Amino acid sequence: MIFDSSNVTIPDAAVSVSGLTDYLRSLLEQDEQLRQVWVTGEVSSANNHRSGLFFTLQDPDGTAAIKCVVWNSQLAKLTQLPVPGEQLIILGSIRLYPQRGEYQLTVWQAFPGGVGLQALRYQQLRNRLLAEGLFDPQRKRHIPLHPQIIAVVTSPTAAAWGDIQKTLKHRYPGLHVLFSPATVQGEQAPESIVKAIARVERDGRAEVLILSRGGGAVEELVCFNDERVVRAVAECTIPVVTGIGHQRDESLVDLVADVCVHTPTAAAETVVPSLAEMYTQHRQRVASLHEAVIYSQTSAENKLQTLRHRLRNLRLDRQMQQEVKNLQWQRRQLLQLTTARSQQAKQHLEMLRQKLASLDPKAVLQRGYAVVRQENGAIARNADKLAVGDELLVQLGQGEVKVKVIE
CA distances from 149 to 176, 206, 209, 229 (A): 5, 5, 9, 23
Query: Do residues 258 and 241 lie in contact, with contact meaning Cβ atoms separated by under 8 Å?
Result: yes
Query: Do residues 261 and 241 lie in contact, with contact meaning Cβ atoms separated by under 8 Å?
Result: yes
Query: pLDDT tens, 131-154?
Result: 888 889 898 999 888 899 999 999
pTM: 0.51
**What whole-number distance in Å separates Cα of residue 266 and Cα of residue 163?**
10
Q: Does domain 2-120 have CATH number 2.40.50.140?
A: yes
CATH assignment of 140-273, among 3.90.1150.10, 3.40.50.300, 3.40.50.720, 3.40.50.11400: 3.40.50.11400
As a whole number, mean pLDDT of residues 344-352 equals 88
Query: Do residues 232 and 215 lie in contact, with contact meaning Cβ atoms separated by under 8 Å?
Result: no
Per-residue pLDDT band for 391 (boundaries 50, 70, 90) equals confident
> 3-state DSSP call for residue 8?
coil
pLDDT at 52: 92
pLDDT at 7: 58
Q: Residue 364: is its pLDDT beyond 80? A: no
CB atoms closer than 10 angstroms to residue 396: 13
Per-residue pLDDT band for 320 (boundaries 50, 70, 90) equals confident
| Segments of 72-117 assigned E as strands | 86-97, 102-115
Per-residue pLDDT band for 2 (boundaries 50, 70, 90) equals very low
In this predicted model, which residue has the larger pLDDT, 332 or 62? 332
- Which range, of 7-11, 104-108, 252-256, 305-309, averages the lowest pLDDT? 7-11
Query: Do residues 234 and 256 lie in contact, with contact meaning Cβ atoms separated by under 8 Å?
Result: yes
pLDDT at 312: 74
Q: Where are the alpha helices (DSSP H) in 259-274?
A: 264-271
pLDDT at 3: 43
Provide the pairing of β-strand 259-261 with 240-244.
parallel
**What whole-number distance in Å separates Cα of residue 52 and Cα of residue 248?**
19
Query: pLDDT tens, 84-135?
Result: 878 888 889 888 888 888 889 999 988 887 655 666 677 788 888 888 888 8
178: closest CA among 153, 211, 143, 146?
A: 153
> 3-state DSSP call for residue 163?
helix
In this predicted model, which residue has the larger pLDDT, 34 or 349? 349
- The answer to whether the Cα torsion of 235, 239, 245, 248 is positive or negative is positive
75 membership: H or E segment, kind and range: helix 72-75
Q: Residue 4: is its pLDDT beyond 60? A: no
296 torsion bin: left (phi>0), alpha (psi -120 to 50), beta (else): alpha
Report the DSSP beta bridge partners of residue 154: 181
pLDDT at 249: 59
Query: pLDDT tens, 156-167?
Result: 888 888 889 999
Query: pLDDT tens, 249-300?
Result: 578 899 999 999 888 989 999 888 878 877 888 888 888 898 899 899 989 9
249: closest CA among 122, 111, 157?
A: 122
Query: pLDDT tens, 201-234?
Result: 999 999 999 999 877 666 667 788 889 999 999 9
In this predicted model, which residue has the larger pLDDT, 123 or 195? 195
pLDDT at 1: 40
As a whole number, mean pLDDT of residues 234-246 equals 88
**What whole-number distance in Å separates Cα of residue 27 and Cα of residue 23?**
6
